[in-house]
Amino acid sequence: MTIAPVRPATYPAPVRAAVPGVRCAGVPAPLVDGRRVEYANLDHGASAPCLDAVADAVDEFLPYYASVHRGAGYFSQISTKVYEGARASLRAFTGARERDAVVFTRNTTDALNLLAESVPRGTSVVLFDTEHHAALLPWRGRVTHVPTPRDVHSALSEVDTALAESPEGPRLLVVCGASNVTGELWPVAELAAIARRHGARTVLDAAQLAPHRPVDIRALDVDYVVLSGHKCYAPYGAGALIGRADWLNAAQPYLAGGGATKLVNEQLGVSWAKVPERHEAGSPNVVGVHALAVAAKTLGRSAEAVAEHENALLDRLRAGLATIPGVRELSLFDGARERVGVVSFTLDGIESGLLAAVLSAEHGIGVRDGKFCAHIATGRLLAESGAEAETAVRVSIGLGTRAEHIERLLAALRAIVLYGPSWDYAIVDGKYAPSPDPRPLPAFLEE
């Protein structure tokens, strides 16, 4: 078999535009044949590499690192200032209203679970059943699942109906900004407007949107936004819930403990603090929060360059995939919907898990395979695609992606279609791995 090459690998100028640098740039990865190549990190959607600006800011701060809210010392004051100052950066990054609370969490999952614990008793929740598990599962028992229709127009009318039919009382619509399976953008503003008409609030899961596109609470007219630092190039363990304070202030603290209290008496009677402290019990993750704030400022400043860089790479990736026989790209809506740099696909004749292992072991390319914590969405799209596959491969691009990574991926896929894997593979702990696997670990992992 021969495969015609795609159009020449030239990219429009924007892909060469200056975008913020990341720490994994140029770092080599070993291959099973003994060579080393620059690691092509095509898994930004799972966790993005650390921004240089974030790592530098953390290094600069660490000598001053001390307790937050708890110490009288100079360094404690600095740490508290850094922590509290980060709220303004998140506020600016998300276009929050003045009265919105900024509560720091571990990640998006944590933020959504906090909100789920805080909604008033009897709140009915409406969401599409194709959501990521972090958005799908915290509301079990009080949720209406709307099956995702094939087009955006029907999605709007399905939500309209579901909200109209939901019981009287508080209502919440959970909306995804960008699908973690297909990268497609959801019509957030339109959905939030429908919710508003029904007196419902909207929470935007911006886990996949915020690293790639500006998020504006006011323009979208949503009530809450949740996001993760590690997907926004700030891998130090912080995330955020930003939005209306009233439900959060009326709820029991998410965690009981120090920092969330104003007063505790001998009978263990507690007077709880208001948000944000109410839901931030325990010593806060000031390093993570500082990292998140620096990432927010950096991404906020570079939004245009980020989108241009990613769009050029994404166009090339999708055009290239379309020329490879047996590739089936998954799409929620029609293939033309605007999307961030996430593409999931199957390749006929090779299991996705094996394909991902080959890309890593023989080509130094990191992708993800599976159902991406969105089992309903991925399962449905796989069935609709006609693939005889139970899982897919996901390529997700971002600031660490270079044109050469995309070219390497496309060349690798063509070689796999023509010749298959060049190494042996076995299932180890439920996943495909090269057998044997001679790739050395970095020195810091050696005994």
By beta-carbon proximity to ligand PLP, the closer residue of 44 and 363 is 44
Q: Indicate whether 210 belongs to the interface with ligand PLP (CB under 6 A).
A: no
Within residues 223-262, the interface with ligand PLP by CB under 6 A covers: 228, 231
Three-class secondary structure of residue 184 per DSSP: strand
Q: Judged by CB under 6 A, does residue 180 bind ligand PLP?
A: yes
**Structure tokens, 243:** 């939005």
- # of chain residues touching ligand PLP (CB under 6 A): 14
* 107 touching ligand PLP, by CB under 6 A: yes
Q: What is d(CA 282, CA 385) in angstroms, rounded to the nearest whole number?
A: 47
Decide whether 338 or 388 has the Cβ nearer to ligand PLP.
338
Site membership for ligand PLP, residue 176 (CB under 6 A): yes
Compare residues 68 and 209 and give the one whose CB is closer to ligand PLP.
Answer: 209
Binding part of the chain for ligand PLP, among 106-114, 195-203, 407-415, 419-427 by CB under 6 A, reads 106-114
Rounded Cα distance between 258 and 277, Å, is 10
Taking the CA atoms of 101, 104, 105 and 108 in sequence, report the sign of the dihedral they define. positive
Cis peptide before 421 (omega within 30 of 0): no
* Residues with Cβ within 8 Å of residue 226, at least 6 apart in sequence: 105, 108, 111, 112, 115, 203, 204, 205, 206, 207, 239, 240, 241, 242
Q: Is 256 left (phi over 0), alpha (psi -120 to 50) or beta?
A: beta
Taking residue 126's Cβ as centre, other Cβ atoms within 10 Å add up to 27
Give the residues across from 263 on adjacent strands. 271
Considering only residues 278 to 297 of the shown chain, the ones binding ligand PLP according to CB under 6 A are none
Q: Which stretch binds ligand PLP (CB under 6 A): 28-36, 91-99, 104-112, 118-126?
A: 104-112
Q: Of the candidates 208, 298, 344, 346, which one interacts with ligand PLP according to CB under 6 A?
A: 208
| 134: contact with ligand PLP by CB under 6 A | yes
d(CA 133, CA 356): 22
CA distance 143 to 264: 36
Considering the candidates 50, 176, 232, 373, report the single residue annotated as catalytic.
373
What does the alpha-carbon distance between residue 224 and residue 204 come to, in Å, rounded to a whole number? 6
Binding region for ligand PLP (CB under 6 A) out of 127-135, 151-159, 412-420, 427-435: 127-135
Among 41, 80, 108, 118, binds ligand PLP (CB under 6 A): 108
Q: Write down the least CB distance from residue 171 to ligand PLP, Å.
A: 21
User: Does the active-site annotation cover 176?
Assistant: no
Which one, 22 or 416, has the nearer CB to ligand PLP? 22
> Which one among 87, 91, 132, 405 touches ligand PLP, defined by CB under 6 A?
132
Cβ proximity to ligand PLP: between 41 and 107 the closer is 107
Question: How much of the chain is in helix, strand and coil states, percent to nearest 5?
Answer: 40, 20, 45
Looking at residues 333 to 392 of the shown chain, list those that interact with ligand PLP (rule: CB under 6 A).
373
Catalytic residues: 373
Residues that bind ligand PLP (CB under 6 A): 107-109, 132, 134-135, 176, 180, 205, 207-208, 228, 231, 373
